[in-house]
């Protein structure tokens, strides 16, 4: 049984990292699986979507698979994969966001229209958020019994609680209170809000900001405007091992979502990775964040409440986070999750070919 995994978004997007993890751990579980990595980083005007359409089309032109897993339903992946569907492949589409909800513009309307057309191409759907699954069933009732809950999990071979710290980094930042934030710096990161919050914190700290993306230059300008140039270290895009090395030094990690409907349907990769390294985490109570309330310092939904929680926790931490990595190991472990998913895929194929 040959499986193909594609990510609709750019090389540096969080959903592409999810695609890679699914590939890595399905392969580890014994699956015959290919992953065609996106050819481009994020581009202005979503040009990476347009150009990757041709890339994927020619990459799969002479291939054949039993199962194709597409992360996010966009034309650049779904349309080329119609070739594979015509050759007998079953299509699984992973929906990991309400993508149109981040914008209020014609682009949002176009994304919603396209995904409404493309989602029904799927023979099966996966998603990582139970509220999002409810929304999918509401909008596409034909998938009521054809959705698999594929958790957003952690690569515990990289993000592990006993990760050895880099001595050079320790020496470089010795004596500093280190805050940490990691994300693809795009419209969904809300990093400007985090910078505003930090501009009101008078304590001595620095923030490691890990991640590239289309808004990175804009956020650097915001930091300068808020007089945070000496407080924020923009580390740019990092591979996961480098990101984990910086994270291992953190005294406090940050997660923040605006209290908007779209954020009800997200699953934070970073909160899981922070906890996997046994780090204290501050997050505001939006969407799934409440699922981690026993292991994090959870503020109210507002930016003011989030700011107050940072101010408080820079000065005082209890041991609330100390069992977080055990919670992640049991509940959000990619190795365990991929084994269950591979077993499901084989069952899924058996059902299709049986009938």
Distance CA 195, CA 313 (A): 17
d(CA 227, CA 46): 31
Q: What is the pLDDT of residue 76?
A: 95
Q: For position 130, what pLDDT does the model report? A: 95
Measured CA to CA, the distance from residue 349 to residue 52 in angstroms comes to 29
Other C-beta atoms lying within 10 Å of the C-beta of residue 32: 11
**Packed helices 303-315 and 191-199: angle between N→C axes, nearest 10 degrees:** 60
Paired strand residues for 253: 180, 281
pTM: 0.93
**What pLDDT shows up at residue 98?**
82
The pLDDT value recorded for residue 355 is 37
Domains of the chain: 2-153+333-354 (3.40.50.2000), 167-331 (3.40.50.2000)
Q: Are 19 and 49 contacting, i.e. CB atoms less than 8 angstroms apart?
A: no
The DSSP H or E segment spanning 139 is: helix 130-139
What is the reported pLDDT for 101?
Answer: 59
Q: Residue 126 pairs with which residues in a beta bridge?
A: 94, 148
Q: How far apart are CA 64 and CA 128, in angstroms?
A: 27
Detail the DSSP E strand segments found in the chain. 2-7, 32-36, 67-71, 90-95, 124-127, 147-149, 178-182, 206-210, 232-236, 252-255, 281-284, 297-299
Please tell me the predicted confidence (pLDDT) of residue 111: 86
Distance of alpha carbon 352 from alpha carbon 355, whole angstroms: 6
Torsions phi, psi for 190 (to 5 deg):
55, 35
Distance, CA of 217 to CA of 242 (rounded, Å): 21
Sequence-ordered list of residues with C-beta below 8 angstroms from that of 297, at least 6 positions apart, any chain: 280, 281, 282, 283, 309, 313, 317, 320
**Half-sphere exposure (Cβ direction) of 228: Cα atoms closer than 13 Å:** 26
Residue 154 is given by DSSP the state B
d(C-alpha 36, C-alpha 172), whole Å: 38
Give CA–CA dist 316/57, Å, rounded.
54
Query: For residue 307, what pLDDT is reported?
Result: 97
Closest listed residue to residue 276, CA positions, set 194, 199, 333, 341: 333
CB 346 within 8 A of CB 166: no
pLDDT tens digit string along 159-217?
Answer: 998 888 888 888 888 888 999 999 999 889 999 999 999 999 988 899 999 999 889 99
Q: Are 289 and 306 in contact (CB under 8 A)?
A: no
Q: Which residues of the chain have pLDDT under 70?
A: 45, 100-101, 352-355
Pairing of β 67-71 and β 2-7: parallel
What is the percent of the chain with per-residue pLDDT over 90, rounded to a whole number? 77
């Amino acid at each position: 049984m040959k499986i193909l995994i594609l990510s609709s978004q750019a090389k540096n997007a969080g959903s592409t990292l999810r695609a890679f993890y699914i590939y890595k751990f399905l392969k580890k579980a014994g699956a015959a699986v290919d992953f065609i990595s996106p050819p481009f980083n994020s581009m202005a005007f979503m040009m990476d979507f347009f150009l990757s359409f041709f890339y994927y089309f020619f990459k799969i032109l002479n291939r054949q698979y039993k199962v194709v897993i597409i992360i996010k339903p966009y034309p650049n992946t779904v349309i080329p994969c119609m070739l594979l569907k015509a050759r007998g492949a079953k299509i699984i589409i992973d929906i990991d966001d309400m993508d149109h909800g981040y914008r209020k513009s014609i682009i949002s309307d176009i994304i919603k229209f396209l995904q409404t057309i493309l989602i029904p191409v799927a023979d099966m759907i996966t998603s990582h958020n139970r509220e999002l699954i409810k929304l999918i069933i509401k909008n596409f009732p034909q998938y009521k019994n054809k959705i698999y809950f594929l958790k957003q999990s952690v690569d515990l071979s990289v993000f592990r609680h006993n990760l050895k710290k880099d001595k050079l980094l320790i020496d470089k930042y010795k004596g500093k209170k280190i805050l940490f934030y990691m994300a693809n710096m795009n419209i969904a990161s809300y990093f400007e809000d985090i910078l505003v919050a930090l501009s009101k914190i008078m304590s001595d700290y620095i923030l490691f900001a890990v991640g590239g993306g289309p808004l990175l230059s804009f956020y650097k300008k915001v930091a300068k405007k808020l007089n945070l140039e000496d407080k924020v270290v923009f580390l740019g895009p990092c591979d996961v091992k480098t990101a984990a090395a910086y994270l291992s030094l953190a005294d406090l990690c940050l997660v923040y979502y605006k209290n908007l409907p779209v954020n009800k349907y997200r699953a934070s990769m970073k909160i899981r990775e922070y906890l996997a390294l046994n780090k204290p985490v501050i997050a505001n109570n939006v969407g799934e964040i409440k699922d981690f309330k026993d292991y994090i310092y959870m503020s109210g939904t507002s930016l003011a409440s989030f700011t107050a929680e940072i101010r408080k926790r820079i000065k005082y931490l209890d041991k609330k986070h100390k069992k977080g990595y055990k919670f992640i190991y049991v509940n959000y472990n990619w190795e365990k999750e991929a084994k269950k998913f591979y077993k499901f895929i084989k069952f899924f194929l058996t059902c299709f070919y049986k009938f």
